[in-house]
Amino acid sequence: MESMALELELSEQPFQVKYEQHAHLATSSWMIFVWEKVDMFNFKIVVNNLQLKPPRKGNKWLIAKFVWLNYSKQDLLRLNRVRLHNKLSFSRTYCVQKERILTRVI
C-alpha cells in the first residue's frame, strides 16, 4: 500500500484518488486493479496504518502540486518517472545531480 501511495504521490489515501485521471502514474499490479474497482463502484477505503507524513512542516506531495499546476498527462508521467528515479517525494526536497543543485520549482 505504501509503495502505491509513494508511486502515485498524490495522497496518503491512494484509493481515494480518481482512477481515470491518475492511473497512468501507477505501475500495473493487483492493487491498481482493486483501485480501479473501488473508484468504479464509488467505494471509500481508508487505510489507517500508513506512515506517510511529510518530513517537514509545509511539505506537499510533489505530483499533487504538479496536478494543481495543470501539467498535462504526458508531463505528469515524465515528471513522475524522474521523481521516482531521484527518490523525491515532497516539494521541499532538494536534489544534487552532476555537481548541480536542483532547487525546488514550487
Domain range summary for the chain, segments of one domain joined by +: 2-102
pLDDT in tens, 63-104: 888 888 888 999 888 888 887 776 666 655 444 343 344 444
Residue 52 pLDDT > 50, yes or no?
A: yes
Contact between 12 and 50 (Cβ < 8 Å):
yes
Q: Which of 37, 39, 34, 44 is nearest to 1 (CA)?
A: 34
For the whole prediction, is pTM greater than 0.85?
no
Contact (Cβ atoms closer than 8 angstroms) between residue 8 and residue 62: no
